[in-house]
Every structure is written in structure tokens, then in C-alpha cells.
């Protein structure tokens, strides 16, 4: 059993002992390492995938389209073998090295769920969308106010200073818009609207009092400050090739930012190819003492020991590890006295989109490949519930112009077509949803009783689905977005429900949620287990509800806050 300490080799224990262990090297794991190392803790970061170093391991970063064997596309045989990842946002021949193939880590889908993973040092911070709006107090209070979730144990005011802490270091661009529904942060200059977007913003402002189109808040260095230059990062070049790995460090990733910063302290050890098996619990000490891994290459089992443990393996893998961490004290999974571990898994709804044609502006264009989209803030169920659904939604939106006037010509070959392609075509506008979903006990993950992976660890079973509330919210978005487009003069409007399975949004959350009451949650307001104070969870697994704002910057803030609390508690001898 993981809790049995009689077999431990004392010499190995000494060699494998650190002040802190961080499981996972992605967005939240990198932040945990940075904060803990800065405070002087010898910290081990365990990553199940290969090592990736900034600059060195971005093989496609500067390649031209014609340099790729298939011009960026994947072969038919690859797509048939990998129906899951080939549908993921940003996946193509230029980014495939940062995604795992479908069969590399199978799982069991009781209901369709598309689990997108990135197993390497840096995790999905190398392939994330980079949107970083702050949550508002509405998102923290709505679940309890409207009865579709438990009360968050933390308020916006409590997390706001840590938002600032994360924004200043990571580098977030955006405008200070003074909106209650999407609070302002510490922003670098935003990417500006193009000419159509400027006019659309003004038209929306003139026709609606509750809807705001703003410049995107994105993890891009539009104007680096001293702290970013100290990290060795430079200005975003607006290449829009981010998911290949950015040689300029123009967008935030743990590989370009937090992990190198932690390494400078001399306190960081990163161990790739370390598949975490479980958390080791010592019943005599009444706390966790370490982490058991399986070496990905040798299949050897190795134990590492520490005073505090941060579990940041990404939401579903964190649930898998905790469910597999069984001992006499925790026979149903780590910290799982109330039986809720793996339950209340939720996600964000990305199913709906609306688009249309924009007349005019034929003498206007734009420069560069802007990496940030515009945002439409939520206007539903804020001060009161004003719809037949609970929760809210925001949207991403923007205007673009066809690459060439001849793009839709009947004849697509010859001199006339070539000449037509040298002239830009018509303008278009799009908008797509990012919607809140309701945490439900029936949406859960569990461990298989009979199926194991190549390292002998049980496969994860996913049982997650949309519900009627999700459908009503989606319908409202489609209706409202089409009406808005019509009201501001956009033509040929079309709506689309892509019917994605949950998971493809890559914003899975929950399973090990925070809360005030140990009967209804697993973590307290500091992201500590209620019943084991030296283990922290600060990735998406900790989320009490999904909100409608992109969650990654909140994970960074939670992690920094929890790590600093852990250091203080360690100094006081409380953990």
C-alpha cells in the first residue's frame, strides 16, 4: 500500500527528499515551482512526458508553409488513427509534437468526452489559447446565489491581488475598460481593433446598454516591461504561430517563463518521464510524505519525499492520481472521506458560433497576424436571474478579410486567378460562445477496475455530458448573437451548433473542488485538503464552478496564493 513506510530504503529516501514536490509542469505547476523556489524551498517538479527547453525544442517555430511535407496537414492514415487530437484547436503538422497521440494514453468513455493532453515539460502551456480575463464577483457568487452550486470559499477581493501578481509576471495585454462584469487588471497595451471592429464596437455601444465588446486580454507581450526582459522574453511579433513554441517568448508558457525563473534560484529539479502513480500517506504522521512515480522508460517504481506536495497534473490527471492514491486512511482515494473525489467534473460550453458578412471597408486592411481576439462580456443572470437557465456566457469575436478576391472564383488556376488573389476580398464577422456549465455529481470520472495503462495504472473512466440548462444557454447565445449582428447591419448571418462532445474546449474542471464545508468539498480556501493540510491542488481540478471567463490566469493566481500560504504555514510548523 502507498501508506506503508516499512519498505523504504533510508539511503534512497535521503537522496530523493526535497522540501516540496510539484506534480506537473504546465501553467499551474510552473507557477508553483516559481513561488516555492523563490522562497528557498528545494523543489522537485515531476513531469510524465519528455523534456522541452525554451528555444531548443521548438522544431517548427521558424518553418515556412512549404517546408512541411504535407503543407501543415496531417495524412489520412494519421487522422484515422487519431480522431481525437486531430480535431483539437491548433493541431496540425506544425504543432503535432506538443500533443499526445490518441493511443499513447487511452481512457474509457462511458459518454463521449474528448480529452486533449500535452505530455511534456510545459504541458499545455505550450498550446493554450492564452485568453486571460479576470473572473468577476458574479462568477464567484452566482452558483450559491442561484442554487446551482456550492458557495465558493474565496471572494473576488481576496484573489484580486494575486491576479495582479500573476498578470505582472506573465505579461497580459488588454485595455482597462472599467466594467464590473470583467474587472480590469495589470495590463500591457492591447492589440488594437481593426477598422471593422472599431465601428462594430461603437454600433454595439449605441444600441445596447448591457453588452460590451472589448479588446482581448491575452498573455502576449505587446510591450515587455523590465520583469519580462529579465526572463529573457521579447515582444510578440504577431506571427500567430504561438502553438509551435515561440522563440521570442512573446506569449506566456512555463517553459519560457516560470520554470527558467525557478531554475535560476538553484532550488529547482525537474524530472521528466515521471508518471505519477500516487501520493504517499503516512498514517503515523497524519500527513502525506511523498509521491510514487513509475519511470516512463524503465517502468521502475521510485518514491520521492517532501514536506509539502502540489498536485498540478491538469484536472483529469490530477483526479486520476488522487483516486489511485489509496491507503488504509484513504481507501477510496486521497482525501476522499466524503466520497466526492472525481465528482462534479464540469467544462465550458464552446458549441455555438455565429458569423456574417460586412459590407464596405474595401479600401481598408490590417497589418500583422494579431494573436488576440476581441471579447464580448457576459450580460446574462448578473444581478438577478433573467433567463430560463442559470449561469452566463461570454464570447470571442472579430472581423477579418478574405485572403484574396479570387478565393471563391469558379476558375482557381491561371493568370487571372493569380492576379485576383493579390487583392483582398470581402470582410466578415464572427462570434463564438464560452459558456458556463453546471457542476453535477453525475458528471464524474472514476478508475477502471480491470483496464490499466502501460505503466500498470488504472485507466480513467469519463462520464460527463451536457444537460438541458446547457442547451437553453446555447440556444440563447445563438439567438442573441444573430439578433445583435442583424441590429448592427451585418448581412447573410448564419448560426452553427458544432455538437462537440465535452472536453474539446480543453477547459475541464472540478473533481476535487474547493469549498467551505468538508462534507461538500475536498479543498479549503487555500487549496489544501480539508483532511491533509500539506497537500495542495491548484489546477483545474480545484474549481468549484466553471464561470464563463477563461480560467488559466485564475489557476496562476490560486497557485501563487496557495504556494505563499504553504511557505508561511511551513515556517510556523503547521504543516
The CATH label, of 3.50.50.60, 2.40.110.10, 3.30.1180.20, 3.90.550.10, for the domain at 10-61+71-131+241-348+441-465+504-572 is: 3.50.50.60
* Number of residues that this document lists for the chain: 575
Residue 410 — pLDDT band, cuts 50, 70, 90?
Answer: low
Which class for 492: exposed (0-12), middle (13-18), buried (19 or more C-beta within 10 A)? exposed
CA distance 463 to 443: 6
Q: Report the pLDDT value the prediction gives residue 485, as an integer from 0 to 100.
A: 98
Closest CA to 9 of 282, 299, 304, 298: 304
Q: What is the mean pLDDT of residues 213-224?
A: 98
* pLDDT tens-digit map of 53-74: 999 999 999 999 999 999 999 9
Closest CA to 385 of 515, 513, 476, 484: 476
Three cell numbers written together for 35: 513561488
| Helix, strand, coil share of the chain (percent; to 5) | 25, 20, 50
> Each residue of 459-479: b (16+ CB within 10 Å) or e?
bbbbbbbbeebbeebbebbbe
Q: Report the pLDDT value the prediction gives residue 1, as an integer from 0 to 100.
A: 40
* pLDDT tens-digit map of 501-550: 999 999 999 999 999 999 999 999 999 999 999 999 999 999 999 999 99
* pLDDT tens-digit map of 304-330: 999 999 999 999 999 999 999 999 999
H or E element at residue 195: helix 195-207
Do the beta carbons of residue 288 and residue 63 sit within 8 Å? Answer: no
Do the beta carbons of residue 313 and residue 34 sit within 8 Å? Answer: no
Q: What is the mean pLDDT of residues 545-574?
A: 98
Helix axes 552-572, 156-170, angle to 10 degrees: 100
Residue 5 — pLDDT band, cuts 50, 70, 90?
Answer: very low
Per-domain residue ranges for the chain? 10-61+71-131+241-348+441-465+504-572
Q: Report the pLDDT value the prediction gives residue 417, as an integer from 0 to 100.
A: 79
Q: Report the pLDDT value the prediction gives residue 17, as an integer from 0 to 100.
A: 97
Closest CA to 317 of 300, 342, 337: 342
Evaluate if residue 224 carries a pLDDT over 80.
Answer: yes
Spatial strand order in the sheet of 274-282: 274-282, 287-295, 301-305
Could you give the angle at the alpha carbon of 293 between the alpha carbons of 8 and 324, nearest 5°?
100
Closest CA to 424 of 370, 364, 476: 364
Do the beta carbons of residue 287 and residue 63 sit within 8 Å? Answer: no
Q: Report the pLDDT value the prediction gives residue 409, as an integer from 0 to 100.
A: 62
CA distance 562 to 31: 10
For residue 394, what are the CA distances in angstroms to 175, 180, 223?
17, 14, 27
Evaluate if residue 7 carries a pLDDT over 70.
Answer: no
Amino acid at each position: 500500500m502507498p501508506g506503508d513506510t516499512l519498505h523504504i530504503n533510508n539511503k534512497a529516501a535521503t537522496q530523493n527528499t526535497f522540501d516540496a514536490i510539484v506534480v506537473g509542469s504546465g501553467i499551474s505547476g510552473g507557477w508553483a515551482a516559481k513561488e516555492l523556489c523563490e522562497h528557498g524551498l528545494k523543489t522537485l517538479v515531476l513531469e510524465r512526458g519528455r523534456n522541452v527547453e525554451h528555444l531548443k525544442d521548438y522544431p517548427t517555430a521558424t518553418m515556412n508553409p512549404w517546408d512541411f511535407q504535407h503543407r501543415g496537414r496531417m495524412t489520412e492514415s494519421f487522422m484515422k488513427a487519431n480522431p481525437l487530437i486531430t480535431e483539437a484547436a491548433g493541431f496540425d503538422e506544425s504543432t503535432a509534437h506538443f500533443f499526445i497521440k490518441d493511443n499513447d494514453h487511452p481512457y474509457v468513455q462511458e459518454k463521449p468526452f474528448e480529452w486533449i493532453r500535452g505530455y511534456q515539460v510545459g504541458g499545455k502551456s505550450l498550446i493554450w489559447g492564452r485568453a486571460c480575463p479576470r473572473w468577476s464577483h458574479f462568477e464567484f457568487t452566482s452558483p450559491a446565489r442561484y442554487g446551482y452550486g456550492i458557495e465558493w470559499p474565496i471572494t473576488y477581493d481576496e484573489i484580486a491581488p494575486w491576479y495582479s501578481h500573476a498578470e505582472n509576471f506573465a505579461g497580459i495585454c488588454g485595455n482597462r475598460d472599467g466594467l464590473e462584469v470583467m474587472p480590469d487588471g495589470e495590463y500591457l497595451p492591447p492589440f488594437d481593433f481593426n477598422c471593422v471592429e472599431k465601428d462594430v464596437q461603437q454600433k454595439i455601444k449605441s444600441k445596447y446598454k448591457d453588452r460590451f465588446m472589448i479588446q482581448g486580454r491575452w498573455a502576449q507581450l505587446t510591450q515587455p516591461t523590465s520583469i519580462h526582459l529579465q526572463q529573457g522574453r521579447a515582444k510578440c511579433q504577431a506571427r500567430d504561430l504561438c502553438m509551435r513554441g515561440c522563440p521570442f517568448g512573446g506569449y506566456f508558457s512555463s517553459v519560457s517563463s516560470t520554470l527558467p525563473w525557478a531554475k535560476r534560484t538553484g532550488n529547482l529539479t525537474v524530472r521528466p518521464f515521471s508518471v505519477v502513480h500516487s501520493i504517499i500517506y503516512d498514517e503515523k504522521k497524519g500527513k502525506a510524505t511523498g509521491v510514487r512515480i513509475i519511470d516512463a522508460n524503465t517502468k521502475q517504481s521510485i518514491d520521492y519525499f517532501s514536506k509539502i506536495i502540489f498536485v498540478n497534473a491538469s484536472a483529469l490527471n490530477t483526479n486520476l492520481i488522487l483516486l489511485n492514491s489509496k491507503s488504509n486512511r484513504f481507501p477510496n482515494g486521497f482525501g476522499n472521506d466524503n466520497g466526492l473525489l472525481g465528482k462534479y467534473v464540469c467544462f465550458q460550453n464552446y458549441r455555438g458560433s455565429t458569423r456574417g458578412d460586412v459590407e464596405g471597408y474595401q479600401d481598408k486592411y490590417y497589418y500583422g497576424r494579431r494573436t488576440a481576439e476581441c471579447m464580448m462580456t457576459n450580460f446574462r443572470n448578473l444581478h438577478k436571474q433573467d433567463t430560463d437557465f442559470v449561469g452566463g456566457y461570454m464570447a470571442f469575436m472579430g472581423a477579418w478579410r478574405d485572403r484574396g478576391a479570387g478565393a471563391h472564383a469558379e476558375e482557381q488556376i491561371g493568370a487571372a486567378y493569380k492576379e485576383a488573389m493579390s487583392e483582398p476580398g470581402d470582410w466578415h464577422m464572427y462570434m463564438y460562445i464560452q459558456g458556463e456549465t453546471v457542476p453535477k455529481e453525475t458528471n464524474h470520472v472514476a478508475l477502471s477496475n480491470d483496464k490499466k495503462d502501460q505503466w500498470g495504472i488504472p485507466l480513467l473512466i469519463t462520464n460527463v455530458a451536457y444537460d438541458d440548462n446547457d442547451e437553453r444557454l446555447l440556444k440563447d447565445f445563438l439567438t442573441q448573437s444573430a439578433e445583435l449582428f442583424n441590429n448592427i447591419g451585418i448581412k447573410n448571418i448564419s448560426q452553427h451548433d458544432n455538437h462537440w462532445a465535452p472536453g474539446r474546449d480543453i477547459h475541464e474542471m472540478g473533481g476535487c473542488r474547493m469549498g467551505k464545508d468538508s462534507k461538500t468539498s475536498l479543498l479549503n480556501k487555500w487549496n489544501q485538503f480539508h483532511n491533509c493540510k500539506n497537500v495542495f491542488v491548484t489546477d483545474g481540478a480545484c474549481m468549484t464552478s466553471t464561470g464563463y471567463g477563461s480560467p488559466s490566469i485564475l489557476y496562476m493566481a490560486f497557485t501563487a496564493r496557495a504556494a505563499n500560504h504553504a511557505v508561511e504555514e511551513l515556517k510556523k510548523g503547521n504543516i
